[in-house]
């Protein structure tokens, strides 16, 4: 059997991959903190044809390392400086995935595109974001003011990549200027252009301008993707209605999908709790960051965050705690054990070089103290404030009360600081206790040390602590 050289096989595979078609599509728009892997997969399940990532800045991507993750079945782009996931994707979405990049430099954008193109089916350049961060960096809507530079970026990408390139803009103050800009950008070879039907200074409360998009659509041959209609989108039919109003080839949905991603279902919206449960299962399956998962659930709950259940949810700090509220606690525990067995390290075990040096310093400090007394009893136990209903239930309080009842001297604490990390040693009844989990301040470090003492003394149950995320090993 004839075998092509590796480099030729890769090139052949990318060039024979079915090219993404942007016509007559319903699309999940790029949304910061929303367009991560679980939400993208859920949007596809609900009926979206194409999904965009959140905007990812080229400077962050170019420093990342591509790392397959067999345990999760994903490809991860990892920041080597702190071990965080910059971008995570999987085979289920590859053929319908577009990554949106924030950039102000054609050469850098091309380098990132080459790094990513085997794992995505399209690359979109953000030319419409009006946020200060993007503008100051010369990205987003700042590029609307320098159309020659915007065109250079797109032309460089179109000529240098094997996947289709698009951009997303906002309309300009008048129709003629908008048409001129779109024609200039279309001439670079891009496959489609997304247009938000508001200007850079307008916000969601302002009315959209579908008539501008209609005029643009009649003036160019490439597909126009209409965006900006979420204010009046409440069901699937509203998506198509906005598309028709704009005379666009496709429609892109942001805020309406953030609130209820089942808006992509022609059959109708799903109940909120069913939607959250589906989303949380995907978060567990793909080891999504707890803070990101929480943000997306908050977007779905909206005013229901003020209910008793909503207030309990707002206190959550771990994915396990969030899952418990929707009766997925057992599922979360089981899957996390399975994934760990399969080799997924999880965020609690991430240890970049800088963090390793800090840990070694902490351990040296702890060892120096421990040499003068008995050995330090250590467990990996973070202090999670949300698991304690009042100050009377905090670990330090519990240990102090236990000491009084037992007629022992109160516990004493010695805390070491290394840069911005803290670790404490609790001395009680001739023994020393410490949590190996680094805390962000002295008070939390002392609580963690007290927690280890309470567990060792039999005042707390290990299973309960594992269930609420307070005992990692």
- The residues assigned a catalytic role are 129
| C-alpha span between 124 and 53 (Å, rounded) | 9
Cα-Cα end-to-end distance for the chain:
50
CB pairs under 8 A, 24+ apart, for 127-135? 127/167, 127/168, 127/169, 128/168, 128/169, 128/170, 128/194, 128/196, 128/200, 129/55, 129/102, 130/170, 130/200, 130/201, 134/55, 134/102
* 35: three-class secondary structure by DSSP: coil
Q: In the 8-state DSSP scheme, what is residue 18?
A: P
Which pair of tokens denotes residue 54? 């959140």
- Burial (CB count <10 Å: 0-12, 13-18, 19+), residue 137: middle
Q: 331 in helix, strand or coil?
A: helix
How far apart are the C-alpha atoms of 113 and 301, rounded to whole Å? Answer: 36
- How many other CB atoms sit within 10 Å of the CB of residue 464? 12
CB < 8 Å & 24+ apart, contacts of 419-423: 419/358, 421/358, 421/362, 423/362, 423/365, 423/366
Q: What are the b/e assignments for 264-281, b being 16+ CB within 10 Å?
A: bbeeebbeeeebbbbbbb
404: left (phi over 0), alpha (psi -120 to 50) or beta: alpha
Q: Which of 76, 124, 75 is nearest to 99 (CA)?
A: 124
Beta bridge partners of 377: 433
> In degrees rounded to 5, what are phi and psi of residue 401?
-65, -40
Q: Kindly report the CA angle at 170 between 165 and 175, in degrees rounded to 5?
A: 110
Cα–Cα distance between 295 and 310 in angstroms, integer? 13
d(CA 280, CA 288): 9
Calpha distance 340→287 (Å, rounded):
10
Got the DSSP string for 165-204?
Answer: EEEEEE--SSHHHHHHHHHHHHTTT-SEEEEESS-TT--T
């Amino acid at each position: 059997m004839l075998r092509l050289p590796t480099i030729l096989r890769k090139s052949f595979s990318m060039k024979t991959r079915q090219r993404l078609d942007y016509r007559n599509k319903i699309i999940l728009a790029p949304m910061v903190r929303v367009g991560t892997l679980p939400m993208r997969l859920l949007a596809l399940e609900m009926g979206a044809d194409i999904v965009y990532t959140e905007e990812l800045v080229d400077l962050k991507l170019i420093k990342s390392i591509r790392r397959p993750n067999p345990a999760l079945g994903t490809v991860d782009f990892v920041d080597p400086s702190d071990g965080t996931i910059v971008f995570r994707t999987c085979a289920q979405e590859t053929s319908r995935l577009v990554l949106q990049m924030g950039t102000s430099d054609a050469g850098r954008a091309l380098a990132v595109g080459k790094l990513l193109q085997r794992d995505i089916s399209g690359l979109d350049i953000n030319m419409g974001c009006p946020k200060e961060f993007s503008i100051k960096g010369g990205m987003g809507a700042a590029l609307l003011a320098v159309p020659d530079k915007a065109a250079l970026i797109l032309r460089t990408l179109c000529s240098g990549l094997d996947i289709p390139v698009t951009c997303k803009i906002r309309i300009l103050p008048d129709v003629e200027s908008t048409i001129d800009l779109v024609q200039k950008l279309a001439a670079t070879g891009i496959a489609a252009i997304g247009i938000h039907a508001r200007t850079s200074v307008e916000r969601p409360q302002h009315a959209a301008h579908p008539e501008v998009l209609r005029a643009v659509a009649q003036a160019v041959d490439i597909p126009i993707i209409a965006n900006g209609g979420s204010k009046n989108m409440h069901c699937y039919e509203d998506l198509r209605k906005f598309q028709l109003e704009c005379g666009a080839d496709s429609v892109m949905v942001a805020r309406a999908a953030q609130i209820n991603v089942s808006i992509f279902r022609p059959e109708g919206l799903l109940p909120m709790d069913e939607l959250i449960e589906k989303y949380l299962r995907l978060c567990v399956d793909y080891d999504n960051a707890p803070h990101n998962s929480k943000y997306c659930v908050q977007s779905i709950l909206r005013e229901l965050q003020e209910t008793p259940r909503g207030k309990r949810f707002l206190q959550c700090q771990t994915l396990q705690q969030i899952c418990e509220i929707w009766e997925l606690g057992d599922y979360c525990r089981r899957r996390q054990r399975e994934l760990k067995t399969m080799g997924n390290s999880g965020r609690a075990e991430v240890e970049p070089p800088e963090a390793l040096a800090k840990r070694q310093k902490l351990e040296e400090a702890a060892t120096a103290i421990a040499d003068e007394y008995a050995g330090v009893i250590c467990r990996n136990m973070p202090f999670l404030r949300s698991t304690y209903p009042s100050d009377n239930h905090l670990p330090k309080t519990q240990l102090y009360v236990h000491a009084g009842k037992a007629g022992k001297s109160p516990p004493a604490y010695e805390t070491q600081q290394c840069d911005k990390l803290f670790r404490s040693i609790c001395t009680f009844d001739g023994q020393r206790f410490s949590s190996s989990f680094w805390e962000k301040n002295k008070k939390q470090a002392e609580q963690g040390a007290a927690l280890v003492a309470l567990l060792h003394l039999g005042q707390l149950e290990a299973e309960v602590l594992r269930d609420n995320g307070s005992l990692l090993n």
